[in-house]
Structure formats: C-alpha cells, structure tokens
Amino acid sequence: MDNLKSEIFKYFEGKKILLLGFARSNRAVSKLFDECEINFDVADEKLIDIGSFRNSKVDFFFGEKYLDAISNYDAVFRSPGIKYNNKMKEALKKGVEFTSEISLFFRFCKSKNIFAVTGSDGKTTSSNMIYEMLKKSGKRVFIGGNIGIPIISYIFDILENDFVILELSSFQLFDSKIKPKVAVVTNISENHLDWHSNFDEYLESKMNVFRYQDKEDTLILNYDDKFSSYIGKQVSPNVRFFSTKNKISNGCFLRDHSIYFSDGKNENIIINIDKLKIPGTHNVENFMSAISACFDYVRIDDIRFVCENFSGVEHRIEFVREINGVRYFDDSIASSPTRVIKGALSVFTKNIILIAGGYDKKLDFHELADQICKKVKVLILMGQTADKIKDCVLKSRVKTKPKIFKVDSMKEAVWFSYRNSSQNDVVLLSPSCASFGMYKNFEERGNDFKNCVLNLKNSV
C-alpha cells in the first residue's frame, strides 16, 4: 500500500490543508494524512483534545476566531456537522476548495464497487441489508460513512474487487462530489431544517448522491415518494424503482403479498412478506431498495436468505423486554415525524404508550399529532419539543386525545409508561426528534431507554 500513500502524498503536495472541525470524520482524515506525511492544520470553535501526530506539523486555531485564517488555505476539509457561514462562503469565492472525508475516499479508493445510500428515513437499515446480501454471496464488503468507523480508515485495506457500502447524510453530501456505482435514495421528506436553510437546499444536498453518475451507474429510487419519482424522470444514470403500491417494470414491486423483482424481461418472485422477520411497510420498502441495489451482484437465494433472517438494526423498533404482558420497544432512530408515522405507528396501531420529543429541528408535527390521536392511548413528552407536540395534539382535528404527561428524564418517562400500562400494551420510544441537548446521539438515548426498562425489575 506504499504506492497508494505516495499517490495521496503527491496529490496534496504543496497544498495548504485545513481540517475544519475535529470530530469523528476529520480525526480519521488526520490519521491518514499523518500516515502519508502530509501537513495540515486544524480549526475548531471548541477547545478540544487533539492528541499527538507522528509526522505532521500542525497549527491549531480554537475559539471565536477559529475561521480567521480560512482563506489562506487551498483545501478545507469540512466536518459534516459544520454549517456554511459567511466566512466560509467568502473563502469559497476566493477559490478555496471545500471538500470532505467522503470525497477523499472516492478519489483514492481502489474499488469502484461503491454503493451510496441516503434518504430521510431507512438509510441505515437499507445499508445493512445491502451489506448482508453482498456478504452472503461471498463478497468482501466494507461498510461506513454515517455509521460505524469512518470509511477513510479502511482506505489501505480495500482491494479492487471489494465492495463498499456508504450510508450518507445530507450533511456529508452537502459539498461532496462522488460517483457511486449504485446510488440509493430511500425517500425524501422534510428533515434537518434547523441545519439547512430550507427544504430545497436539503433536497439539493441529497441529490449529490447521484449528481455525478452516468449511464454506466445505477440509481435506485422510491416510486411512491413524490420527490424521488420526480427526480427519476430527469437524471442520466440507469434508474431502477421500487414500490409497494405500483407495478414496476424495472425494479421491485408487491403482488399477492409477495415481493417481486423485474429486470424488464423477467419477473422473479423473491419472498412472501409474511416471512420477513422485521415488521412494517417501511421495512418492506427497505428490503425492496436493497434487493434493487444488489440484484445484479448476488444470487436470488442469497437475497431470499437475508430477507428471511435479517432481524433489524439496534434502536430500530428493537424489542427490549416484556413485563406483565406489556412489551417495550426502542425506536430511538426515529428522529423525524415521518419516520414515526411510516415506521412504528404503522407497525403498532393500538394500545400504544408513546415516549416522544427531543431537540427542535423546526419540523411540523401536525400530521404526527393526528396519528397520535388515532393510535396512542398515553403520550409521554420530553425535551425542547414537548410543548410543541402537545399543542399540535390538543389542536388535532381528531377528537380522541391521549392522556399526556411531560417529564424531565428518560427514567421518569419509563416509570410513567410502566405506571400507566396494562396487559397487551406497547411502550414505544419513538421520539420524532433528534437527541441533541439531552444526549450525544440517538444510540445513547436508546441505550438509556433500554437501561431504564431493564432496571424496572428492581421496582416491579
């Protein structure tokens, strides 16, 4: 792999490089650059522990003036969470190149078998399904991006015939120039409007997953999603659709309760959806997106095996335990109203005690409120959006209202759910909001919920 190190060194030789933000993604980039003996500097608004570097000479800019010198650099690696501000826009106008870990990976990865998955909901589950299908077929597969270890960490391990699965967020795609062999857009709905200036910017960011594809590449789209189906009519790659409502001539569709795949000539029955381990229409869609992405690369029997045995991903309607006939589920990943509506509230339709609320991403809760009034018997709210969700529920046109509690902690939320539950109820953590402010991420939130539920044994 010394040849690849030399190639990376030569590409950046003589360039002034700044790592803007020193979180998970750029820390991985720093390790790569240090290994390749490429000099770089680091800027971050917060004073952080930067560790030590073996080969690179590093200057650090922390605090309020961390962006003052940004225009002096040739290339700036933006950490995905950092929004563009005026100083960054000025630097862009002066010719500074803004790039990312993901763009760096695409430039130097030896394999071209890269599958990039994005969407407002379901991208992690779809990515893992694709990973399992390729792995079952005997392929050597790496997975990363918005999940797991930063993908750039594997750059020296990936060989020409390997496969790479990338789950990509709108933050990562915002200024990334990539050309995946297969791009998957699970769906598009309002999300992260606290970060993006408007929905159009969010949509444009998502479209970067296929913007640079050509006719040699494949794009997988949700035919039932109005934005995705609109996109599919005006792009250059080979488009393959999936749908739970319509017959598709090139892609996946439902017929007689079974998933079919059509290549334009032949229709192949894949599996009856009653045999799927994980419930819900949204998971049928996730399977369809994965099947459409993998069909050219794996055997139908391998696809069928994964469909029958895939048991889901942690924090995605994950069963925790049953107490006195009451089942507890962790759906902490559900950080938007549409995710809750299409996900957990489509799987469970009655006897629901819902724990919701969290960080305010400036999303609309009115449609969610209607579904809550139809399906939820007890609503337990926490976080910044507690009052916002409560107000929407009380103003809902649906006359039936749930019993509502506001709480200050997950422990309190779980205790209220236990005290207000009866046999055959479902206690569901499906927040419809991000975890920021109360937790580092949705995983920490889900783990707190599970620990609180498991600790109920001490008080039952």
Cβ contacts of residue 397 below 8 Å, gap of 6+?
A: 370
Burial class (CB in 10 A: 0-12, 13-18, 19+), 408: exposed
Domain with CATH 3.40.1190.10 in the chain: 103-309
Higher per-residue confidence, 313 vs 150: 150
Q: 3-state class of 143 per DSSP?
A: strand
Q: Are 422 and 323 within 8 A, CB to CB?
A: no
Is the per-residue pLDDT at 460 higher than 70?
Answer: no
- Any idea which fold 318-458 has? Protein-Tyrosine Phosphatase; Chain A (3.90.190)
Q: What is the CATH number of domain 103-309?
A: 3.40.1190.10
CATH superfamily for domain 2-99:
NAD(P)-binding Rossmann-like Domain (3.40.50.720)
- Give the integer Cα–Cα distance in Å for 319 and 344: 12
When mean pLDDT is compared across 26-30, 314-318, 329-333, the lowest value belongs to 314-318
Residues of the chain with CATH 3.40.50.720: 2-99
Write down the pLDDT at residue 161: 97
Q: What pLDDT sits at residue 171?
A: 87
Q: What is the pLDDT of residue 202?
A: 86
Tell the residue number behind the tokens 């044994």, with chain if given: 457
Three-state DSSP class for residue 289:
helix
Burial call 423-433: b when 16+ CB within 10 Å, e when fewer: eebbbbbbbbb
Q: Which ranges in the chain are annotated with CATH 3.90.190.20?
A: 318-458
The strand pairing partners of 163, in sequence order, are 141
Q: Which of 38-47, 104-113, 309-318, 431-440 has the highest mean pLDDT?
A: 104-113
d(CA 377, CA 393): 12
pLDDT of residue 193: 67
Whole-structure pTM value: 0.79
